[in-house]
Amino acid sequence: MAFGFAELGLSSVDLWAMTPRELAAAAGYGTGASARLEASGLQNLMARYPDHS
């Protein structure tokens, strides 16, 4: 909690909404080659989770 609030500046709602994987990425874990998001992966995420309806 201290890391999420103090270091990341998250609200309690945002902190508790994070998955363990998201928190690990925010903490700097898993930033190697396997964690890279390729353009095709980004396009897939944008199609699955559009910013508007």
Residue 40 pLDDT:
82
Mean pLDDT of all residues belonging to the chain: 82
- Domain coordinates in residue numbering, the chain: 2-48
Between the alpha carbon of residue 44 and those of residues 2, 12, 19, 30, the distances in Å are 34, 29, 20, 21
The token duo for 7 is 């270091």
For the chain, the distance separating the N- and C-terminal CA atoms, rounded to the nearest angstrom, is: 33
Over residues 33-39, mean pLDDT:
67
Summarised one tens digit per residue, pLDDT across range 15-31 is: 999 998 888 888 877 65
Q: For residue 34, what pLDDT is reported?
A: 57
Q: Is the pTM higher than 0.75? A: no
Contact 21, 30 (CB under 8 A): yes
* Confidence band of 48 (pLDDT split at 50, 70, 90): confident
